[in-house]
Amino acid sequence: MDQRLADLLALLQLEQLEVNLFRGASRDIGIPQVFGGQVLGQALSAAAATVAAERIVHSLHAYFLLRGDPHAPIVYQVDRSLDGHSFSNRRVVAIQHGQQIFNMTASFQVLEEGFDHHSPMPAVSPPERLTPYSGPDAELLARMPPRLQRFFQEPRPFEFSPVQPIEFLKARHEAPQRQIWFRAVGPLPADEMLHRRLLAYVSDFFLLDTSTLPHGTSFLSPSLIIASIDHALWYHRPVRIDEWLLYAMESPSASGARGFSRGSVFARDGTLLASTAQEGLVRMRKPS
């Protein structure tokens, strides 16, 4: 297995401290707080560890309460809210330095058949015809603070091919829409819960940024404060995160210093696999 993927899987593995109590490591990737996808993935790992193996997560709803410390472990406390005939529900609270920094509710279901339809995938170029996302060029990277340089130079367990070019300093006023192809950098075992945990992790990339596109700014702007408030994810069909998937994102609204974005994750054949939604703080600093 590619070492970048092995490191990510190790990060999402938790130590069980007691019944319903787990501890996960944190990783400093060059941003001031723990990456939201890490907390989502670890919380889902904690919830899944208390659910029968034949029940697979189909939705999760989470709130980011405080910035996580990337240099300290996180403790996850699981409440076994429901174990019904077909569904199990879990509530997870993430604790760091004695404070709640995050909470999440996740629902699991026994696999079964039912009605089947989905929205069509947007018509976009395939990933092979696009330029892979590699971050800022060397000249721009050299002008960034060391911490931000580390963020862009950190080995990534996923590769991205954006349909629209991503501008860092020359941000334009654009339509609040973005499509990005992504996949894991190497093959993974055929474990459905593993792929769903990894989708939770990667679903936090790029989503909230979509709400800034009409406003001629980017997350690198020193005057912009941007942070996730909540995150929701619905799994509709089986996922293979090591195959190309299209993340189609849009932001229907921004107001009250909050941006709202939603996304659809499609398989290459156009099948809708998952849906996401996120609201976050999007605030411009007032001139001093």
CATH number at residue 208: 2.40.160.210
Given pLDDT bands bounded at 50, 70 and 90, which one contains residue 252? very high
266, with CB counted inside 10 A (0-12, 13-18, 19+), is: buried
Instruction: Provide the residue range defining the domain that includes 7.
Output: 3-113+127-284
Contacts 24+ apart (CB under 8 A), 86-89: 86/110, 86/112, 87/55, 88/51, 88/52, 88/55
- Residue 77 pLDDT: 98
Residue 179 to residue 165: CA distance in whole angstroms = 10
Residue 121 forms part of a structural domain: no
Count of domains for the chain? 1
Residue 230 to residue 39: CA distance in whole angstroms = 12
218 touches 209 (CB < 8 A): yes
Catalytic site residue from 107, 161, 204, 264: 204
Residue 38 pLDDT greater than 70, yes or no: yes
- Residue 30 pLDDT: 75
Q: What is the mean pLDDT of residues 228-249?
A: 97
Residue 250 forms part of a structural domain: yes
Residue 256 forms part of a structural domain: yes
Catalytic site residue from 96, 161, 179, 228: 228
For 268, phi and psi rounded to 5 degrees? Answer: -60, -30
Of residues 101 and 139, more confidence is placed in 101
228 is catalytic: yes
Q: What percent of the chain has pLDDT over 90?
A: 77
Supply angle C-alpha 6, 12, 14, rounded to 5.
120
Average per-residue pLDDT for the chain: 92
Residue 214 forms part of a structural domain: yes
- Residue 171 pLDDT: 66
pLDDT in tens, 111-170: 999 999 999 999 999 999 999 987 777 777 777 777 677 777 778 899 999 999 887 666
Residue 178 forms part of a structural domain: yes
Residue 122 forms part of a structural domain: no
- Residue 63 pLDDT: 98
- Residue 45 pLDDT: 97
Residue 159 to residue 171: CA distance in whole angstroms = 23
Residue 54 pLDDT greater than 90, yes or no: yes
Residue 47 CB coordination number (10 Å): 26
Residue 96 forms part of a structural domain: yes
Q: What is the mean pLDDT of residues 166-192?
A: 87
Residue 281 to residue 208: CA distance in whole angstroms = 9
* pTM of the predicted model as reported, rounded to 2 decimal places: 0.92
Given pLDDT bands bounded at 50, 70 and 90, which one contains residue 91? very high
Residue 197 forms part of a structural domain: yes
